[in-house]
Chain A
Amino acid sequence: MKKRGSKTALTMSYPNWFYLPAVITFAIFFIWPTLSAFYYSLTRWTIFNATFIGIENYVQFLSDPMLSIGLKNTFIYGILTSGLKTILALPLAVLLTSGIRFKGFYRSLVFFPVLVSTIAVGITFSILMQPNQGLFNVILASVGLPRVDWLGNPKLALFSVIFVDVWKGIGIATVIFMAGILAIPQDYFDAVKLEGGFYIKFRHVIIPLVRNSTFTVILLSFIGGLRTFDLIWAMTGGGPGFASDVLTSIIYKQYQAGFYGLSTAGNVILFFMVTLLVFPLRSFFNSKEIEV
């Protein structure tokens, strides 16, 4: 028997027992709940017992006619919020890294909504969007425009929530972009100074060199959009009717109704959906990443 080299010595000084606390914590709080969720999604689960029923929950969940509305809304929500945040945050980040005055003040102003609780934001905006006395409509009315039923109009409700989500989440995206811009070496800016104005700088230096930040923003806000719940719940509860229901609010309502097995199946579906969408996206982005 040959002893292994210096690597063994290193391993020896930290015996495997040291992993134990972490492994136990991880197993109890992550692995076990995940595995049992897979099991319970195959059962009809009341508060007291769970009867194994095979894939019936999945069949029922996927054949639910309201699910298609929820799925569509989830995608609209994920794509629009991540798209808008990316498009709006980049110019903001450029502005806030430029030489304007009161930069610090503006930066905290943009970041402020991130710090407020989502539920509080939701409740505040649903009051602002109240159809008769809400501030939004009072302003519209004072300049002679027709009142808009922001959250009550089934065609509009989801987009009103998306607007608030963008307002609230743009701070994080801006900060990520700012970090990306500030990491660009000054040489590049000096190099294009000869070429001309701001457009060249923006188009040929900033956009290509903040690519990594762009990917991070898109990915984070897309995942966030797919699994969003709190804002929708606080503002519309998925309503009116099913108009702004997303996957998570459907799952929550089934849980509320006591359909624990069915809602667990919904969660498993959400888990796979996010994984299937995000992993390819991430590896695509990773392959395109650049070194500054």
Chain B
Amino acid sequence: MKKTGLFALALMVLLALSTVLYSAGKEEAVEAEGPVTLTYLVASGTDSTQAQVMTDAYTAMNPDVTFEIELRPGGTDGDNVVKTRLATGEMTDIFYYNAGSLLVALNPGETLVDIADEPFMDVVDDAFKMTVAKDDGVFGIPNQTAMGGGILYNKKVYADLGLKVPKSWAEFAANNEKIKAAGLTPVIATYGDSWTSQLFVLADYYNVQAEEPNFAADYTANKAKYANTPAARAGFDHLKEGFDKGWYQSGFATAKYNQGLEMLATGQGAHYPMLSFALTAIKENWPEEVENIGFFAQPGNSASKNGATIWMLSANYIPKTTTGAKLKAAKDFFAFVVSPEGIATMNAGFPPSGPYLVKGAELPADVLPAVNDISSYIDSGNSAPALEFLSPVKGPRLEQFCVAVGTGQMSPEDAAANYDKDVANQAKQLGLAGW
């Protein structure tokens, strides 16, 4: 008798719980007919500031739609959050993520809403669409601007020491020796945030494709390797040269990205190999000094083939789990982002760090000097997209190999060979043909 009683009680509790859960689910569905709240997953830091600016502007125009911004870490930790949430169907209504090789790993055909045929996509540049497309679908709407990857430099230091912007690696090396002789740090390295170590390799891609025009295709098809392509290996050689010649500041192995920015902005260091989105952070923290920061493309062997490597914009995506009124609202928000009002909002709230790749979108007149530097490479046709936008294979351990070379633990040859193995892992994981 007692046993049955207990059992009945347990059953009742279970039933009660399930009704509560069921009605909670139903309520949400009803609510979506009225005002809509879109959840929005972005990386913390400057990306979230930008998301805040855009969503605030949109809500001001459409009071029915509000946003709840959720933050995730950047880098590989963030990749994991995005992948896990997509896989478990727990993704926010819209989210912000990289384009190119990282997007391919999300299996967009199965997880994301295809927006290829939406009318607002007409203004989006094809060069961008390429980087958010897989098979027949196009999945992302550009967010922010394209970036230059190369060397950010302090123009004041250059003026004080009478230096000229280098067009070849030899000139760059000569400049570095003069800067070192003047008691300043020639090249800032911040391996405490290990992703920052990759620029010498990744931003060298313009020079790689200038010498080996088929590298991206051959690399994707498992024919070209870093280890057997001297032009591609040059990036690793540069890291080693910097270490051997003492170009990096003391304590560089544990220094953080923000310390690097400070050194550059205050002129303690002359060069910082970096993506131009760093300009936003410099402008926020050192608004006086940001006008002294310039950009030049990472120099290669030959001064005649000098050009910049360009990072495509990151994008906003809609997962397939977003449906109904939320999907409609999400698409309308996307249309706003690439509309002239959207671009104007972005210009006002957030200094652009490169071109928008949206037809008709103009950069403001008071754009930062470094952004002008980048634009002039693009306008003169001396630019190429980074390898990660041309090939889906990018080994996840590149940053570790770069740090290992830059701290003198590993030879460039070994790093290139080991990185090739890392790349093979990634290609197999993606199920590419020929690996």
Residues of A in contact with B (beta carbons under 8 Å apart) = 44, 46-48, 60, 64-66, 126, 130-132, 149, 151-154, 237-243, 253, 255-259, 262
| A131→B250 contact, CB < 8 A | yes
B37 / chain A contacts, CB cutoff of 8 Å? none
Residues of A close to B390: CB separation below 8 A = none
A-chain residues with CB within 8 Å of residue B250 when the two chains form the complex: 131-132, 149
Establish whether residues B397 and A153, one from each chain, have CB atoms under 8 Å apart when the complex forms: no
Indicate if the CB atoms of B410 and A241 lie closer than 8 Å. Answer: yes
Contact A259 B425 (CB under 8 A): yes
Q: Are A242 and B79 in contact (CB under 8 A)?
A: no
The reply to whether A152 and B425 form a contact with Cβ atoms under 8 Å apart is no
Which A residue's beta carbon lies closest to that of B401?
A241
Chain A nearest CB: distance from B231 CB in Å? 24
Q: Are B409 and A256 in contact (CB under 8 A)?
A: no
With A151-B254, A237-B194 as given contacts, are A47 and B107 in contact (CB-CB < 8 Å)? Answer: yes
Residue of B nearest to A155 (CB): B409
- Given A46-B107, A237-B194, A256 and B404 contact (CB-CB distance below 8 Å): no
- B9 at the A/B interface (Cβ < 8 Å)? no
Q: What are the nearest 7 A-B pairs in CB distance?
A: A241-B404, A152-B253, A257-B396, A131-B251, A47-B87, A256-B76, A152-B254
Question: Are B400's CB and A241's CB within 8 A?
Answer: yes
Nearest-neighbor residue (CB-CB) of A129 within chain B: B254
For the complex, is B39 an interface residue (Cβ under 8 Å from A)?
no
Partner of B253, one of A65, A153, A257: A153
Does B409 contact A48, Cβ atoms closer than 8 Å?
Answer: no
Q: Is the CB of A48 within 8 A of B107?
A: yes
Q: Are B396 and A44 closer than 8 Å at their CB atoms?
A: no
* Given A132-B251, A241-B407, A256-B87 contact (CB < 8 Å): no
A258 to B250, CA, bound (A): 34
Q: Show 17 residue pairs from A and B whose CB-CB distance is below 8 angstroms, ordered by the A residue.
A: A47-B84, A47-B86, A47-B106, A48-B110, A66-B418, A132-B250, A132-B251, A152-B253, A239-B403, A240-B253, A241-B407, A241-B410, A253-B400, A256-B77, A256-B79, A257-B397, A257-B425
Inter-subunit contact A126/B254 (CB<8 Å):
yes
The answer to whether A65 touches B254 (Cβ under 8 A) is: no
Q: Does A243 lie within 8 Å of B409, measured CB to CB?
A: yes
Contact B410 A46 (CB under 8 A): no
8 Å CB contact of B407 from A154, A238, A255: A154
Complex-state Cα separation, A120 to B397, whole angstroms: 26
Q: B268-301: contact bitstring with A at CB < 8 Å (1 yes, 0 no)?
A: 0000000000000000000000000000000000
CB distance from A198 to the nearest CB of B (A): 44
CB B195 to nearest CB in A, in angstroms, measures: 11
- Kindly supply a per-residue 1/0 record for chain B positions 78-99, scoring 1 wherever the CB is within 8 Å of any chain A CB and 0 otherwise: 0110011011000000000000
Given contacts A152-B407, A253-B397, A259-B425, 6 further A-B contacts (CB under 8 A): A47-B83, A132-B251, A151-B253, A237-B194, A241-B403, A241-B404
Q: Which residues from A are CB-within-8-Å of B421?
A: 64-65
CA distance A241 to B79 in the complex (A): 20
Closest residue of A by beta carbon distance from B425:
A259
State whether B418 touches A256 (Cβ < 8 A): no
CA distance A255 to B77 in the complex (A): 10
Also in contact, A258 and B83, with CB within 8 A (given A153-B253, A240-B404): yes
B191 contacts partner chain A, Cβ-Cβ < 8 Å: yes
Say whether, besides A47-B83, A256-B76, A241 and B425 are in contact (CB < 8 Å): no
Task: Report Cα–Cα, A132/B255, bound state, in Å.
Answer: 10
The answer to whether A152 and B252 touch across the interface, beta carbons within 8 angstroms, is yes
Q: A239 CA to B256 CA in the complex, in Å? A: 13
The residue from A65, A66, A243, A257 contacting B76, defined by CB atoms under 8 A apart: A257
Cβ contact within 8 Å between A60 and B425: yes
User: Are A46 and B429 in touch, CB under 8 angstroms?
Assistant: yes
A240-B404, A253-B76, A259-B429 given; A152·B396 CB < 8 A = no
The answer to whether the Cβ of B426 comes within 8 Å of any Cβ in the partner chain is yes
Q: Are B428 and A256 in contact (CB under 8 A)?
A: no
Return the chain B residue nearest A245 by Cβ: B400
Q: A255 — nearest CB in chain B belongs to which residue?
A: B80
B-side contacts of A153, CB under 8 Å: 253
Residues of chain B within 8 A of A256, CB atoms compared: 76-77, 79-80, 396
